[in-house]
A and B are shown apart, each in its own frame.
Chain A
Amino acid sequence: MPQNSIVSTEKICTHINSQSILKNVSISLGRGRVVGLVGPNGAGKTTVMKSILGLISVDSGSIFVEGQQVTPQHHSIIKQKVGALIEGPAIYPFLTGFEHLKMMTNDIGQIISFSDQLGLTKYLPKKVKGYSLGTKQKLGIVLALINDPDLVILDEPMNGLDPQSTRQLRNLIQKLSKNGTTFFISSHILSELEKIIDDVIVLDSGKVTLSTSLEKLYQESTRKLVIETSAGSVEINNEDFSQLNNELIRLIKQRVKINNIRYRPSDLEDSLLKYLDDHNQEEN
């Protein structure tokens, strides 16, 4: 296990109903880093998270959290060091939000502090069965954070959150990670994910196809050219100047007014798509 890792998995494989879900998955989460886990639906992202938490067993390979091996039979380290939100918030409809948090901690100050930061405070006295999807999600996130865990695993935390709440969550994650908390977050909303993560892991069909820092990923991807016209914007991929030339000729022939030509920096989606395209080409 790398020295500064809080979590590492070594070639974990797992099957569910004789279907291979994870294939030799080896990942390492750096201490204090915010790591994004992305991949298409059914890639195995939630299965990786559940394996780390000791919720499911793996057929082969090992999982270590804070240097201790984790299995469904032995995972006391998880109880001490990890908070999680997996497959939706784990909540009881007959309890209020405050009662949920009170079950986890006696520190009222901490309950109020986290709830304030996610705009949850005014909902705390109400029973959870009356909460909206987004409010339930916020409660689930606070439950994951409430005991100051060293590692927080969040599976699609932005589901159901409005833009303001998403920003509040982003600010909270950034603040906690500066204090040394490690985050492992899966999300399909790449535009939001890239604002908070330091590292990215791509999972596809149960295999890790990429594991790198965001900075390195951007360095290896290219920028896009954007032609801004009176009729909208046209993007040219991969600094393809011959395509730029053709587009300019087409626009001029159509007498479309060209306002500006500029570079647009790559975003996470572009970078990943480019990486995956290159990766697939190499494999073929």
Chain B
Amino acid sequence: MQSILNQEIFKMTHKNSTWTSILALTVLTILLAVSNLYQTKIQDVKFYFSSGFAGFQWLLLITIVISASFITMEFEYGTIKQLVIQSSNRFTIFGTKIFLVACYSVFLHIFIIILTLGIKFLMFPSLNLNENYMHQRSLIINLLANAGLDVFSSFLIISIVAFLAAFGSNSAISISVGLGVTFLGQGLSHLIIQSMIKQVPIVKWNPFNMLNLQEQFANANYHYISHLTTGQLLIGDIIWTAIMLIAAAIVFSKRKI
């Protein structure tokens, strides 16, 4: 019998959504690049290059969809029973799934970097990768830094969506809830922080505020919205990821099957 990890890899690589997501990401990223071909402001081209031609933003949607469906599908198809029979405990199953989704996210980030570089060489050959851009760093370093920070943000999103999906038995509902909570959560976080920051300063540490990490790296003025430094956002991101993953693992392990 193959191990749980091998089975999960098998399932992920045989799901259509795993590959159609990559295709959609490629098309959308190239489309944005094409729309910038006749852009006269070089600063705008540099901005889009360093942000992977919006690839990291599209990746947010894909992360939510893949995370939610990969967790919920076992309850939706009733296959959780077989998984529990085959493994020592449910934490192993959950941990394996999260590990795999995280690896898929890292893979997609690397894919976007390679795609962005490919777009640069094909469509924007005059763009100098070593030219200084934000934070006194070169354009290529900005791209890599954005990608790295987005990986942390994606881990937080995976953990939040995993927590929500651990309650669900329907992939479509889990995906919808994941999308809703992530996008509304950020907006709600802004509102709450703006209205209550003086009375309840701790609200700035809510998990949705940590999703501003990448924006704040790109635009230092963002700290007037987040009320945290970039370093604090990174630490908060890591801590909240751990908290949500532990909570999700507990919910997953206790669910009736």
The finding on whether chains A and B are genuine partners in a shared complex, rather than unrelated, reads yes
In the complex, whether B42 has a CB less than 8 A from a CB of chain A is no
A-contacting 9-mer, from B75-83, B185-193, B229-237 = B75-83
B41-69 contacts to A (CB < 8 Å): none
Quick one: which of A54, A88, A94, A106 contacts B78, CB cutoff 8 A?
A88
In the complex, whether A161 has a CB less than 8 A from a CB of chain B is no
Nearest chain-B residue to A147 (Cβ)?
B1
> How far is the CB of B3 from the nearest CB of chain A, in Å?
11
Quick one: which of B78, B85, B256 contacts A79, CB cutoff 8 A?
B85
Interface of A is mostly: loop
Across chains A and B, the number of contacting residue pairs, with CB separation under 8 Å, is: 63
In the complex, whether B84 has a CB less than 8 A from a CB of chain A is yes
Nearest chain-B residue to A95 (Cβ)?
B14
> How far is the CB of A61 from the nearest CB of chain B, in Å?
19
Quick one: which of B6, B16, B87, B89 contacts A94, CB cutoff 8 A?
B16
Instruction: Tell me the complex Cα distance, A76–B87, Å.
Output: 7
Q: How many residues belonging to A are interface residues under a CB distance threshold of 8 Å?
A: 30
In the complex, whether A56 has a CB less than 8 A from a CB of chain B is yes
List the A side residues contacting B15 at CB < 8 Å. Answer: 94
In the complex, whether B11 has a CB less than 8 A from a CB of chain A is yes
In the complex, whether B73 has a CB less than 8 A from a CB of chain A is yes
List the A side residues contacting B85 at CB < 8 Å. Answer: 53-55, 75, 78-79, 82, 84
Asked if residues A73 and B89 are in contact (CB atoms below 8 Å), the reply is yes
Asked if residues A90 and B1 are in contact (CB atoms below 8 Å), the reply is no
Asked if residues A54 and B84 are in contact (CB atoms below 8 Å), the reply is yes
Most A C-beta atoms less than 10 A away, residue of B10, B81, B89: B81
Beyond known contacts A50-B81, A55-B257, A75-B85: 6 more, CB 8 A cutoff: A53-B81, A78-B85, A79-B87, A90-B78, A92-B73, A92-B77
A-binding residues in B (CB < 8 A): 1-2, 6-7, 10-11, 14-16, 73, 77-82, 84-89, 256-257
B-binding residues in A (CB < 8 A): 50, 53-56, 72-73, 75-76, 78-79, 82, 84, 86-88, 90-95, 99, 102-106, 143, 147
